[in-house]
A and B are shown apart, each in its own frame.
Chain A
Amino acid sequence: MNPIKSKKVNDFYEALLRDLIRPDEAAFRQDRIRIQVGSATCELAAGAGEVLDELKKHIAASERDDIVVREVGCTGRCSREPLLGVVIPGRMPVTYEKADRELVHRVFIEHVQGGRPLYENMLDGPGRQISRREVLFCRSRRCLRPDGAGWERDFRDMLDRSGISREEIDILSASCFGACRGEAATDASTILVRPDKVLYRIRNRSDLEEIIESHLRRGEVVERLRWKLPPLNRSFFDLYGDVAFFNRQSRVSLRNSGVLDPESLAEYVNFRGFRALAVALGGGDPLWVIDQVSRARLRGRGGAGYPTGQKWIDTREPAAENRYIVCNADEGDPGAFMNRSMLESDPFNIVEGMIIGGFAIGAKKGFFYIRAEYPLAIARIQKAIDICREKRLLGKNIMDSGFDFEIEIRLGAGAFVCGEETALIHSIEGERGQPRIRPPYPSERGLWGEPTAINNVETLAGVTGIINYGCDWFRSLGTDKSGGTKVFALAGTIRHTGLVEVPLGTTLKEIVFEIGGGMPEGSEFKAVQTGGPAGGCLPLELIDLPVDYDSLNRAGTIMGSGGMIVLGQNDCMVDIAKYYLSFSQDESCGKCSPCREGTTRMLEILEKISAGRGTRREIENLERLAKLVKKSSLCGLGRAAPNPVLSTLTHFRDEYLAHVDDKRCPAGRCTGLLRYSVDPESCVGCGLCARDCPAACISGEKRRPHEIDQERCIKCGRCLEVCRFQAVKVS
C-alpha cells in the first residue's frame, strides 16, 4: 500500500482511527452474532423495513445481548431482495434471499438460536450442505501459474489423498481478491479460507500441502504463507464468497456495498476509508495523484471513456481564479442503477474520491449533481458530507494538510439531457438544462466560466482503490487501454438481475450466461442492449465480444453508463428501437433542429412500421434520417439517439422486413399487428364483448356468434379480456 508521507497528516489519520474504531463497540466485536439487512431503495421496496422490524422484535423477545443487527447497503442482487445475512463467529456466513416476517421468524429460531441453517432459503438456493470450511481459489489471469492453469486441480487431488472428508471442505473459484496489486504478476496465487478470513499466497505444491495439513486438518493458520495486508475486497468475499453470482465478479467500486453500514463513518474508516485521502494529502503533490490515475488507465465511467487523468490535467492547466469538480450523479439511462446503489451503499467512498479529485485539480469546491428521483441517495450523501465536515475531512485545513475543500449538493429535476456535461453546468447555474457547443470544453470554461472537471460517480469510486493500492494493480485488472473494472446493471429477460462488476475485457458471454445465469426457463437469447437510449443491440453472434469501450464502439453500440438489458425471443426489436427513440424524442431539449425534428420524424416512421402501415421505402428513409441526425446534432443526446435504430437495422433487419412485407411481428409484441377474431364455434352470443368494445366494432345478434370489424378494430384487447367463453382468438 502507498504510504502516508506527511507526519502531520499521518497523526491526524491515526487519531481518527483511534477516535472512531473502538474495538469494544458492538459493531466491531467479532464475538457477536451479526445479522445484516439491506437498506437501499430497492431493498426497502422489497420489504427490508418489515424484516428489520421483525428481527428487532425477536431479539428483544429473546433477551440476548450477543446479537447485533446491522443495516448495510445493497449488494446489487435485486431480484432476490431483501437479503438477510447471518454471521455467527467461527461459522460460515449465510445469506438468505427474499426475506419476509415469516422467514425472519424461522431463521431466528432455527439458525440463530438452533444453529441449523435453512438450506432451502439460501441465496440462489436451495443451498447445498454447508461444509465447515471453504477454500476459494482466485481465477484471475494474474493468479494463474506460468503454464496458464490454476492450483485448484492439484489441491483437489491432494485433499483427496489427505483423507480429510470432502464434506468438511468446499472448493470454489472466485475472482480477484485484490491482493496481488499487479506486481510480480504470476509468481504466486491467492486463496481465501472461509470463514477464518485467512488469505494465503501460494507458490508451489508444498505450500498447498502445508495449508492442508496445518490449517485444514488441525485448524492452525500457516503464518508463513499468510497475506498480512488486508486486500481491497476480501471483506466482500468473507460474506458472499459462496454465491456464484458474486464470486465471479471483481468487486472494486462495489467492494463495500452490502458489507458496511453506509451511514457509519467508523465502519468506512475501519475498511481503510479516508486512508487514500491521507496518502494524497500527505504526499502534498497533486501531480502525483493525477499521475497515479493516468497510469492506472482509469477512464470515464459515464460512458464516453475519456481518460480521467487527462481530464484532470486539462482542468488544472488553464490559469483561473476558481476551479470546480462536479460529480455527475444524474443517472438518467433507463435500466441503469449502479450509481444509485453506490451513493446509497458506500457514500463515503464517493465523497472521498471527490475530495482527492478536488485536491488533484486544485479546486476548493465540489458539487454533487444528483437526480431528484433518488431521495435516499441524496439523504445519504448529505449525511456523509455533514459527518465529514464535523470530523474535519471537509472544510478548512483538511486532515491538517492545509488543503481547504467544500462540497454542496445540487439536485436535478428530471431532465435526461442534464447528464450531458454542458447541460449539467447550465442546470447547476440555475438555468434550463440545455447543452451548448463544445469547445470550449468544461475543463477550460465550465461552471461560471471557470475550469471544471465533471466525473461520473463510478469514476470517483475507483479513485480510492488506485491511491491506496497503486496504479499497477488497477491497470492490470482491465485491458491494455482501459484499466480496472466496470459495473453493469443486468436486467431484462435473464435469470439473475442485479449489479455485476467485472474487469474490463470480460466477455459478454461470461456476464450474461455465467454471472447472470443465462435465460430463464422457456426463453431464448436474442440480443443484449447496452448503453441505454444511446446504445445499441448486440446479437448472439457477438456473444464472445470482450466488453470494453473500444470493442463496443466497433460493434456499433457504446458502453454508456453500463445498463445491460437482455432480450429474448418474445421481445420485438422494432418495439425496442421504438421504445428508446420515444425516450430520446421526449427528452430532446429542443435546442437544435436535427435532434428535435429528426427524432420526432424517426419515431413517426417507427410507429407506422409497428402498426403495420410501413413500407420498404420508409425503412430506407429511416436509415438515412438516422445517419443524418447522428452527424448533425448538437450534443451527445441527439448524436446517439439514432444508435438503437441503426444497430437493430444492422443486426435484425429481417424483423423490420417482417413488419413491413408480411405485416407480422415475429415476437408477437406489436399489438398493432395482432388480429382479433371471434371463434364462431365457442361464441355463445352473450354480447358482453360488443358492449365493452370501445370502438364499437363488434356486432351480432343475441345468442348468435359475433364478428369483429377488422377495419375499425383498434386492437385494444378488451374483448379478449372480458370474454368468459375463450371465444376471442388472437393471431
Chain B
Amino acid sequence: MNRSSTDNWPAVREASRKALPPAVLDFIEECREREHPKSALIAVLHRVQDECGHLGRDQLNAVAQLLQVPTARVYGAATFYHFFRLRPRGRFLISVCLGTACYVKGADQVNRRLMEELGVGLGETTADGLFSLETTRCLGTCGLAPVIMINDNVHGPLKPDDIPGLLERYIQRARKEEAGGKT
C-alpha cells in the first residue's frame, strides 16, 4: 500500500491489523485488488462476524481503516442490517422464525416458552454464555412450521413442550464437547 492518508498511517495500519483475524486480513487484501474494493464492505463484515462471533468496536474501526471507508459508513452498514451483531453472542444462537406460516402455527407460544426456559428476553444471552435468543425473518422452511434455528440446524415443527428437551440436547452436547477437551 503506497498511500498514506495520515501521517501516522503505519501505526494505524499496524493497530488495525492487530484487531482482525488473519483470515479477514487476507480477504481484505484480496478485495483491494479487485474492482470496486469498497463494495466488499458487507462481505468483510460477514467474515468478521463469522470469525469473531460479533462485530466489536475495535474491529469495525479496523475495517474502516484497512478498507479506507469512513467509520461512519461502516457503523451505518453494521447497524442497518439485522444480520450483524454488535454484542457477543452465546455459544448456541437460537433464532425463532417469524415467518407467516410459523406465526399462523403458533411461533409466539414457542417463543414465549423459550424465554421462560432460558430466562432471557429477545436479543439477550444467558448468564452461562450458552444460549442467545433472537428472532429471524422467514427461514423458508414453511412446511415444518413453526421452526427455530439453533446455529445452522433447523428444528421443526415444534410445540412449546418440545423446548425443554431440545435445549437439554444442546446443553448435553456442550458438556460432552467440554469433556472432550474441545472448545
Contacts and interface: CB of A to CB of B under 8 A. Distances in A.
B19 interface: no
Contacts of B103: 334, 579
A337 interface: yes
B163 interface: no
Interface stretch (B4-12, B117-125, B133-141, B171-179): B133-141
Contacts of B145: 491
Nearest to B152: A375
A489 B101 CA distance: 10
A413 B141 contact: no
A491 B77 contact: no
Contacts of B38: 429-430
Contacts of B140: 41-42, 331, 336-337, 340-341, 373-374
A584 interface: no
Contact of A335 (B69, B101, B144): B101
B98 to A, nearest CB: 7
Nearest to B142: A491
A491 B138 contact: no
Given A334-B98, A375-B152, A579-B100, A413 B41 contact: no
A337 B45 contact: no
A81 B141 CA distance: 11
Contact of B138 (A334, A372, A415, A430): A334
A412 B45 CA distance: 11
B138 A414 contact: no
A433 interface: yes
Interface in A670-708: none
Contacts of A476: none
B69 A415 contact: no
A79 B143 contact: yes
A498 B98 contact: no
A288 interface: no
Contacts of A41: 139-141, 154
Contacts of A334: 98-101, 103, 137-138
Contact of A45 (B36, B69, B144): B144
Given A431-B73, A491-B101, A492-B101, A414 B142 contact: no
Contacts of B45: 413
Interface residues of A, number: 54
Interface string B134-167: 0011111111110100001111100000000000
A42 B66 CA distance: 39
A448 interface: yes
Contacts of A26: none
A434 B77 CA distance: 10
Nearest to B102: A334
A414 B42 contact: no
A335 B145 CA distance: 10
B65 to A, nearest CB: 15
B100 A492 contact: yes
Contacts of B152: 375
B143 A81 contact: yes
A442 to B, nearest CB: 15
A491 B143 contact: yes
A492 B104 contact: yes
Nearest to B40: A430
A77 B69 CA distance: 46
Given A335-B100, A411-B43, A429 B82 contact: no
Interface string A545-582: 00000000000000000010101000100000001100
Given A410-B43, A433-B81, A491-B145, 4 more contacts: A78-B143, A448-B36, A489-B142, A497-B142
**7 A-B pairs closest in CB distance:** A78-B143, A337-B140, A413-B81, A414-B82, A45-B154, A430-B41, A414-B83
Interface of A: 41-42, 44-46, 77-79, 81, 331-337, 340-341, 372-375, 410-416, 427-434, 448, 489, 491-493, 497-498, 529, 532, 563, 565, 567, 571, 579-580, 583, 589
